[in-house]
Structure 1
Amino acid sequence: MTQAPTETGTARPGAQEPDGTTPAAPPRGRRRVGRWIAGGTAVLLLAAGGTGYWLYRGLDSNIKGVDIDHAIGDDRPQRLPTSGQNILVLGSDSRAGANAALHAGKVAGARSDTALVIHIPEGRRRAVAVSIPRDTLVTRPACTTSTGRKLPAAHRVMFNSVYSLAGPACVVQTVEQMSGVRMDHYVEVDFAGFKDLVDAIGGVTLTVDQDIHDGASGLNLSAGTHRLDGTQALQFVRTRHGIGDGSDLGRIGLQQKFLTALLAEIKKQDLLGSPAKAYAVADQLTACLTTDSGLASLTRLAEFGRSVRGVDPSTMETIMLPVRYDTQDPNRVVAARPQAGELWQALRHDSPVPEAAKHSPAQGGPTP
């Protein structure tokens, strides 16, 4: 059975969005994606380790846990034979409840347009973040949804539809099947909580090189330096129509800029010197997290945060999964061979990623 994609994917000339507008073609050049969520994860984990559960054990109740191991069962890749770790990180956008008020448009359901496999090799002094484009066509394995409904396997489904239809365990199962890489942990960051986190630290200062006016997100910034509150920050990381050619890749560039500024802000504030503010930030951090059951407590998050303290997010290598445009639908992409296979093999063996596996055949845009 073929599952219809839930989102408009990579645009080609002449393609139209559901609202009838024509999306711009993606930009050329090397595409390094996902640093924003990778950096955000580092913030979440390190802040959890820094503030500590000794402040308020009640923060445990904020963290939502998913029993990934139970949901998937034993049909999974082997764990790394080293001390390396693989973490699947998703950014979720539910379009319901608190998130509903954060959108200019009306889009129903839950989405996860940002997905990263973060590989931390043995020694835990560096990290590699592999971004999976949302419009990649994949095979979804037979799986059980979050509500217990059985879903049959489906071919050529868009990657970001798996979360919407089946939930986090099935996303983990899909990634493991396509990569052969065992996910040791799962971390999901909710965008509504992201907004509150920025407000909790008092805003984030960043500089933009050009005016940004995006009617879809509501963001209006002139070129220069600005102090963004939570609402503006969320608009900033979502905007795409007001920057570059209007593609999702332009938005990713803004996300990278923002998370760099967020990391610098948290480091500058010395939260350990202000227990009251540290608690407020920890409260927002934990409230926007869903993790696998192995991390679903402040104690476990703190332990994990300490174990990866040597990783500097600013030196994290970010790689887009090598993809090529699909021959049947140029609005979609598929994993490129042999590059994708070489990338996943490097992660499976805890070895450096070959240079050839860091480049995507789809860099130059769809073939006419």
Structure 2
Amino acid sequence: MTGSDSRTPPRSRPAPEGRPGIPDGPAPKPRRGKKKIALWAGAATLSLVILGTAGVYYRLNANINTFDGGGLSADRPPAAAPDANGNTPVNVLLIGSDSRDGGNKDLGGGGDIGARSDTTILLHVYADHKHAVGVSIPRDSLVDIPPCKADGKWTAPQTNAMFNSAFAVGDTAQGNPACTQNTIEKLTGLRMDHTVVVNFTGFAAMTSAVGGVNVCVPSDVYEGDLNPNLGRKGKQIFAKGPQKVSGQQALDYVRVRHGIGDGSDIGRMQRQQAFLSSLAKTVKSQGMNPTTLLPLADAATKSLTVDPGLGSADKLLAFAMSLKDIDLKNIKFLTAPWRYNGARVSLVHPDIDQLWAALKADRTLDGQDAGGGASSSPGPGGTPTASPAAAAPAAKGTGIAVAVYNGTTAPGLSTKAASLLEGADFTVTGKANAADRDHATTTVEYGSGEKDGAQTVARLFPGSRLEAVGRPGISLVLGQDFASSDGGDKSAAVPPGPLPTSVSDAARSADDDPCSKLSYG
């Protein structure tokens, strides 16, 4: 119509309750859909996460120190063969260093240079990656240290040396992890796939990163127990019973040995095993994922030294993630079979040889194939019993006296053989070089009426032969076969089977009562 507005009259929007109607104005600009906003927000958040994670990875890579792989022996055990499923076991050497370098001095020690291995654990991760066992090596164990690289030169081998002195070869603040790895490989016949060194600072930071670790203290502990040079009892630092520790307090817990049990390093190792069990339980309860592991790795790597094969954040985290399917009950800890030898420790044969043979064959501590097959047939009540082919050499020499002679030109063999004999409870009456130094085969010579004792000796030296002689007593004459077996590494000759119950029963699982097996004596 002329003179009239043909547009539709404005309509009022429905008024919210309590408000007048609002007339429509110009059409509003179209708003972005909620989904699109969410997508943009999600992308932004993801970008921040990626950038943050990348920043953490960059920091981790910057933190990680690696040791020179050129210090590893050229004569190493072969790598483990894969199982039927194509999976391969992994051996990791874990070293706790008491280096006084940098901030470590404030956390636990005196002295300006030099480092020793305060704790050493061989962690064997089975091929199925559902079982693992950690074997503590007493630091005072008497072992043979092979040639090691220090100051660019290879050192002479050492016999009957304290195990933790291998880490000190070269007398540097960082220690010599390659030498410790060489020593372990010679001792066990197992190839170490990786070596990880953590010092005081790194250990304290790790325990704080997971919010503390639940432990149990078998008795009240005082300042004088932690530092016997204090000269007085001092104030209490731990009350008896369960508690949570982190940082310096966690470090004190794993280092203290006086005032608990017999005050020995052996007892302390049992508490260290209990601590690692609890740490594993804590990490698994928080979730084996990058969210948990990255802060832990960030704390650890600031004071971590690893072999070149673990020298990146990706490799470290990949290895950690490979352990996520191991149940706590299938994580075992034990101490290498040992006995006191004066102020030092001797490793007990043949028990320790049986342990290394079991790990080399990827058998669990009860003699089972980690993949589910059994290496032994069940005995009465379902208890595994070793088949004759899998039985360890029975060589307990209580009451048997043996004189040891080196029938070769290889040095140190009589000392090695004497250690084997003493570890099996034989009495060694003397060590010397034989009149003839060209013996090819190890021989056990015996006098009238002593054949049974000689046979017992021979069981400890597979391949040896017996020889009756016209003089009394039992003599062991070492041949080139013993020298060629790496001077007494009999683990290769020991078939894998169930370990002696004295060894397997002493092991603890990561889910055991945290207040059990905390001291020795």
- TM-score range for the pair, normalised by the shorter chain length: 0.7 to 0.9
Within 5 Å, give how 1:67-216 maps onto structure 2.
67-68=68-69, 70-82=70-82, 83-103=88-108, 109-145=114-150, 147-166=151-170, 167-216=176-225
Shift of 1:256: 3.4
Partner of 2:334: 319
Q: Is the 1:203–1:229 contact (alpha carbons within 8 Å) kept by the matching residues of 2?
A: yes
What is the percentage of aligned positions where both structures have the same residue? 37
**Structure 2 residue ranges without an equivalent (≥5):** 1-51, 83-87, 171-175, 228-235, 366-496, 507-519
Shift of 1:343: 1.5
Shift of 1:125: 0.8
Q: Is the 2:145–2:161 contact (alpha carbons within 8 Å) kept by the matching residues of 1?
A: yes
Q: Is the 1:343–1:358 contact (alpha carbons within 8 Å) kept by the matching residues of 2?
A: no
Residue 256 of structure 1 aligns to which amino acid in structure 2? Q
Q: Is the 1:125–1:311 contact (alpha carbons within 8 Å) kept by the matching residues of 2?
A: yes
What secondary structure does 1:232 align onto?
A: helix
| 1:123–1:265 Cα change, 3 Å | closer
Residue 356 of structure 1 aligns to which amino acid in structure 2? L
In the alignment, structure 1 residue 338 sits paired with structure 2 residue 343: no
Residue 90 of structure 2 aligns to which amino acid in structure 1? Q
Residue 356 of structure 2 aligns to which amino acid in structure 1? W
Q: Is the 1:214–1:241 contact (alpha carbons within 8 Å) kept by the matching residues of 2?
A: no
Residue deviations 1:151-199 (CA, integer Å, cap 9, x gap): 1111111000010124111111111112111111111111211112233
Q: Is the 2:94–2:123 contact (alpha carbons within 8 Å) kept by the matching residues of 1?
A: yes
Deviates more, 1:161-170 or 1:305-314: 305-314
| 1:182–1:226 Cα change, 3 Å | closer
What secondary structure does 2:222 align onto?
A: strand
What secondary structure does 1:178 align onto?
A: helix
What secondary structure does 2:314 align onto?
A: helix
What secondary structure does 1:91 align onto?
A: strand
In the alignment, structure 1 residue 359 sits paired with structure 2 residue 506: no
Q: Is the 1:340–1:357 contact (alpha carbons within 8 Å) kept by the matching residues of 2?
A: no
Shift of 1:298: 0.7
What secondary structure does 2:310 align onto?
A: coil
Q: Is the 2:337–2:351 contact (alpha carbons within 8 Å) kept by the matching residues of 1?
A: yes
Equivalents in 2 of 1:291, 1:214: separation in Å?
A: 33
| 1:245–1:56 Cα change, 3 Å | same
Partner of 1:294: 309
Equivalents in 2 of 1:352, 1:224: separation in Å?
A: 32
Partner of 2:254: 237
Shift of 1:261: 3.8
Equivalents in 1 of 2:193, 2:288: separation in Å?
A: 29
Equivalents in 1 of 2:120, 2:258: separation in Å?
A: 21
What secondary structure does 1:193 align onto?
A: helix
Q: Is the 1:104–1:217 contact (alpha carbons within 8 Å) kept by the matching residues of 2?
A: no
Residue deviations 1:87-133 (CA, integer Å, cap 9, x gap): 11111110232111122655852110211111122211101222211
Partner of 1:255: 272
Q: Is the 1:138–1:158 contact (alpha carbons within 8 Å) kept by the matching residues of 2?
A: yes
| 1:245–1:202 Cα change, 3 Å | same
Q: Is the 2:73–2:182 contact (alpha carbons within 8 Å) kept by the matching residues of 1?
A: no
Report which of the two structures shows the higher radius of gyration computed on alpha carbons.
2
Residue 270 of structure 2 aligns to which amino acid in structure 1? G
| 1:60–1:252 Cα change, 3 Å | same
Higher relative contact order (CA 8 A, sep 6+): 1
Equivalents in 2 of 1:296, 1:175: separation in Å?
A: 21
Q: Is the 1:53–1:299 contact (alpha carbons within 8 Å) kept by the matching residues of 2?
A: no
> Equivalent of 1:220, from 237, 240, 247?
237
Residue 249 of structure 1 aligns to which amino acid in structure 2? I
In the alignment, structure 1 residue 284 sits paired with structure 2 residue 299: yes
TM-score, with structure 2 as normaliser = 0.53
Kindly indicate which of the two structures has a greater share of residues assigned to helix.
1
Residue deviations 1:319-359 (CA, integer Å, cap 9, x gap): 32223343xxx112222221222221222222344443563
| 1:99–1:335 Cα change, 3 Å | same
Count of matched residue pairs: 306
Residue 339 of structure 1 aligns to which amino acid in structure 2? D
**Structure 1 residue ranges without an equivalent (≥5):** 1-50
| 1:358–1:88 Cα change, 3 Å | farther
Equivalents in 2 of 1:122, 1:266: separation in Å?
A: 22
Residue 163 of structure 2 aligns to which amino acid in structure 1? F
Equivalents in 1 of 2:295, 2:320: separation in Å?
A: 19
Equivalents in 2 of 1:178, 1:206: separation in Å?
A: 32
What secondary structure does 2:119 align onto?
A: strand
Equivalents in 2 of 1:181, 1:345: separation in Å?
A: 9
| 1:302–1:336 Cα change, 3 Å | same
Deviates more, 1:291-300 or 1:195-204: 195-204
In the alignment, structure 1 residue 349 sits paired with structure 2 residue 361: yes
| 1:232–1:255 Cα change, 3 Å | same
Shift of 1:272: 6.6
CA RMSD, 1 decimal: 3.0
Equivalents in 1 of 2:60, 2:336: separation in Å?
A: 36
Q: Is the 1:130–1:318 contact (alpha carbons within 8 Å) kept by the matching residues of 2?
A: yes
Within 5 Å, give how 1:41-56 maps onto structure 2.
55-56=56-57
What secondary structure does 1:58 align onto?
A: helix
Partner of 1:22: none
Equivalents in 1 of 2:250, 2:502: separation in Å?
A: 30
Equivalents in 2 of 1:208, 1:73: separation in Å?
A: 41
Shift of 1:217: 2.4
Deviates more, 1:202-211 or 1:233-242: 202-211
Q: Is the 2:340–2:346 contact (alpha carbons within 8 Å) kept by the matching residues of 1?
A: yes
Equivalents in 2 of 1:225, 1:335: separation in Å?
A: 33
